[in-house]
Structure 1
Amino acid sequence: MSAPSVTLVVRPRGKPIKNLPETITVSSDASTAEIFERIADVSKFSIHRLRVTKGSDGAPVSNVGDVTVHETGLRNKSAIDVKDLGPQISWRTVFIVEYLGPLLIHPLVYLARPIIYGTSAPASPLQKLTLLLCVIHFAKREFETLFVHRFSSATMPARNIFKNSGYYWLFSGLNLAYWTYGPNSPAAKPSNPLLTYLGVALFTIGEVCNYSTHLTLKNLRKPGTTERGIPQGLGFDIVTCPNYMFEAIAWIGVALVNWSLATVIFIIMAVGQMGVWAWKKERRYRKEFGDKYKRKRYAILPGIW
């Protein structure tokens, strides 16, 4: 016997959506993704621009294939509110663009040293090493974006690409490159070899361990779903987001190589932002998994934050 159909009353929320249907009819055992498909088909809006919430309590209706309409509590004649989120862009595209900036800016500033700084003096070994480390870091980021990361949301507001890219292009790109490759940079002068070796070691450990945690996070989510598991393994018993911790360690390694104040400022800014994201994730884990989740005292830096 086939499941009964339910008719849902569709209401706009916020600015009007052209051609938004007044009602849609779906099977009660259909996935919630079908609600989005029906609305998008009639309104000619991208699924990713739509936010659907229950009219009764404002609870979000997720665009997923493993939750049925009946399981959400929606019944015949139930109301759903639909909001236009505005133009969207994929998370993957944003990540590619924001990391591409520093990946190109560092080599360009390095090669343009005679023009930018008015000097024909060759770059120092530490400046060359800093360039190599930065290129490796952001090339790794691009690789992970293309082949490792799975995103819980397909898109974000398109305007975010300017904010996200501006942060990376300016602070880890132009700011870091300009103050590193100049003739008066600390990296242009000899440094203690032991500190340089320590910096390279920290960078290598940080990058390798960061990649390992990203693989762990990737394997928590099955392809095509947004369902997550509880992360375990390297670093996850210590802090909420060891990927951020290892990221910080890698950049501390860069700072020990180039001794640039710009690098230190970038580390402080990055750790501050990553710490905010990590605490949000800690709260989400506690809410989502309850007693199954081992609560963390520190989100990103053990003993500190």
Structure 2
Amino acid sequence: MHSVSPDLVIMILVVLMALSFDFINGFHDTANAIATSVSTRAISPRLAIIMAACFNLIGALTYTGVAKTIGGSIADPFKLQNGLVVVLAALTSAILWNLITWWFGIPSSSSHALIGGVAGAVVGAAGFGAINAAGFISIVQALIVSPIVAFVIGFIMIKIVSSLVANAPYHKTNKNFRILQVLSASWQSFSHGANDAQKTMGIIAFAMASGGFLDAPGGNIEIPLWVKFSAAIAMAFGTSVGGWRIIKTMGGKIMKMTPISGFSADVSSAMIITIFTALKLPVSTTHVITSSILGVGASQKFSAVKWGVAGRIVVTWVITLPCTALLAAACYIVYDVFL
């Protein structure tokens, strides 16, 4: 009778935790796609969540470029000792952070949590020299630049849209833009799935490569089909559960939404996420969408934005990477003793 390999047991645990992270990411980030359309009553909450889940699933199955970036740019999985334990620690950190911020209704970044967790666990396992500095910096740059661009695009987008409908009847304009919001929320959901679900695919591929469960000819990690489907389904299922605490924050606590402002924010953020996904760069959909809303609000009236709430969100953005990195390093030390 053959004994089960300890690495196989840890690999199975990693997959289960990665899919759990993806599920939590789904309900944590549902607000990203549907908060504006729900707050303006363009679509009912129940239908919005179903729609978001469907388009998240389609988006998750469409691309793999971001997954390959996550799988090989932060550290080389083939040179990492205890790579499976590293991933386990990173996922534990990211999941705990997501649950804490979800409980308090703060739209923090699942992407920052995961990337911070991976970096912290790698450093905890092998020191700073194990980090691929160029790859890690390019990922962090994308995370920093994308919300800034989203703010600017949101600021400009609402100006353009408002000028186009300046002479149209108010009630008719609102009715038309509620219909358009259904389309923009669909694009938002698709882009969210296309970028965010790939992070889970990448982390599973990273673990498989480091544990010797995945070949990578020429150092090029290919994402197995079962990984794509399982990550896509986990995120879609999580999305279907909904994240009402964060939906309330995104939909009304940052600024008072109208159909025009909601549509402008959705289109701005979906466009940015789609572009960065095509560039194979992970972004925080939470940061991008929140920044678009802030840009739209600031363009209309600076005082329309509740900057106190926005400031609390920004503080969470700033502390997520270091907090999850430290937490992951601590988790690695604990796991390394017991596993």
TM beyond 0.5:
no
TM-score, reference length from structure 2? 0.29
TM-score, reference length from structure 1? 0.32
Structure 1 or 2: more helix by fraction:
2
Structure 1 or 2: more strand by fraction:
1
Q: Which has the higher contact order (CA 8 A, sep 6+)?
A: 2
